[in-house]
Amino acid sequence: MTEAQAQSVDDAPEPLHRAHESAPEHPSDPWVWCLVIPAIFALIAGFRLTTPSAPYFDEVHYLPAAREFLNAWAGVTGEYVNREHPLLGKELIALGMYLFGDNPLGWRIMPLIAGIVAVGASMRAMWHTSEDRFATVAFGILLVTGFHLLIHARIAMLDIFMAAFLSLAAWQFAAAIREPETARTRLILTGIAIGCALGSKWNAVPLAMVPGLTFFAARLSAGRRRLFTSRRGVPIPGISLIEAFLWLGVLPLAIYALTFMPGHWLGSELRPSPLSELGLFGLHADMLALQQQVLAPHSYQSNWPQWVMNTRGIWYLYEFVDEAQRGVLLIGNPLTMLIGLPALVWCLVAGLYRSDWAKIAVVVGYGVSLGLWLIAPKPVQFYYHYVMPSMFLLGALALSLSDLRQAGWNRLAYGVLLASAGLFGVFYKILTAAPLDGPMSFADWTWIAGWR
């Protein structure tokens, strides 16, 4: 066979099913549930969104940074504050303030929208990865009742933006694999979402690498003669490794760089401005130094074993404010954060044994997102760093509940979802800053010492 013939064969489309063969049955896409559950989340998270009426917890860092962007845009000289984090999350908070005013609604409307997107996009990612209708709906319920997303959708912090963009990236990448006819567009959207996630918070870096590495590993396993230029084989026929590198490697970095442009344009109004004075690379050296600085010990700092076991919470708020005693406690759902751990083990074993890529994906996502904090040179860490691992944990639980249901354990599968919702109802008051009975009310929810 000549080289030209070999190339022609290598690039030929995958063979189609014969016309007389019946098409495989596919479960019905639960797209309606992927709209309904995020809508329910919007109502639950949006209730009392403007309470407390004063900034709380890390809003005291991010709101001043957003204000400086607005002031600089208006031509008022200000200070370049909160330089240790990328700009996109703060730019989005500033957008909310521009649209709705410098008030609690303006501060928190964009985080709320990001939380809604995170729930819906995560469900779509689960569907395209597993084509499991029950697991998709269960995942949405577990995310809504898992505490993490609800709390961060109600506060002007950066983590919810990172979670939303990573969820969008996961959705588009999974859909590109499932629907090769739309792959190019979806890979472009994946790259844009990854770049925005990086522009929201650096914690996204390990997960941002997963789609590209997945594509490379899958194509390498296919054993193609022309590894970099062949358009045949898994994970997406019709896309070469070189093109995938463009959309999943180069494009995210370009989008990430573009998220700094507003800071560059406003450099003359923000002083000191390492972006306009040192350029993008100089700014990143400054950011890295600030990220690695040794901070004083904090009463709420914790480490990854405490996150995994849900034994150390953070009171984002506990004080008399807006004419009542109110509190916001960040912990994970006491049920699902623990039973999700054996679900991860099940997904690892069953995923490898059955070559179930949905199960393998949630295990890899959990390991990568948590593994960052085993090696991160950040001396003081907090439970909110567990936001992304907790989402993969709940994904593993949803897939495991679906397996239980298929094995005939319907009551147990539905019972876990009901119990998760029940515990969510029990804790709802201190997830949403509801009025409490008095200064000692925290004792009703601090079931273990680490939650005090």
- Least Cα distance to 292 among 355, 376, 202, 220 occurs for 376
Backbone angle region of 48, left / alpha / beta, with phi > 0 → left and psi within -120 to 50 → alpha: left
**Residues with Cβ within 8 Å of residue 344, at least 6 apart in sequence:** 362, 363, 366, 393, 396
- Least Cα distance to 333 among 313, 352, 316, 303 occurs for 313
> Cβ distance 394 to 340 under 8 Å?
yes
Cα–Cα separations (whole angstroms), residue 295 to 56, 258, 379, 380, 402: 20, 30, 7, 7, 44
- The total of other beta-carbon atoms located within 10 Å of residue 254's CB is 12
Residue 175 tokens, joined: 């859909």
Q: What is the pLDDT of residue 19?
A: 37
Gyration radius (Cα) of the chain, Å: 23
Residue owning tokens 């849900």: 310
Backbone angle region of 296, left / alpha / beta, with phi > 0 → left and psi within -120 to 50 → alpha: beta
pLDDT in tens, 124-174: 999 999 999 999 999 999 999 999 999 999 999 999 999 999 999 999 999
What residues form DSSP beta bridges with 270? 78
> Cβ distance 170 to 125 under 8 Å?
yes
85 vs 69: CA distance, rounded Å: 14
- The pTM of this model reads 0.92
Three-state secondary structure call for residue 25: coil
174 vs 132: CA distance, rounded Å: 13
Residue owning tokens 């923000």: 270
Three-state secondary structure call for residue 70: helix
Residue 340 tokens, joined: 């999700």
List the chain residues with pLDDT less than 70.
1-26, 224, 266-269, 272-274, 294-297, 377-378
- Least Cα distance to 388 among 145, 148, 62, 126 occurs for 148
Alpha helices in 222-273, H assignment, sequence order: 241-245, 251-258, 261-265
* Cis amide linkage into residue 262, ω under 30° from 0: no
List own/partner pairs for 234-238 with CB under 8 A and 24 or more apart.
235/177, 236/176, 236/177, 236/180, 236/183, 236/187, 237/13, 237/14, 237/180, 238/13, 238/180, 238/183, 238/184
171 vs 38: CA distance, rounded Å: 15
Residue owning tokens 């319920």: 141
Residue owning tokens 């703060």: 90
47 vs 390: CA distance, rounded Å: 23
Cα–Cα separations (whole angstroms), residue 389 to 7, 258, 307, 392: 43, 28, 10, 5
pLDDT in tens, 189-226: 999 999 999 999 999 999 999 999 999 999 888 776 77
404 vs 18: CA distance, rounded Å: 35
> Cβ distance 124 to 175 under 8 Å?
yes
Q: What is the pLDDT of residue 268?
A: 61
> Cβ distance 136 to 126 under 8 Å?
yes
Residue 417 tokens, joined: 């979802």
Residue 283 tokens, joined: 């700014």
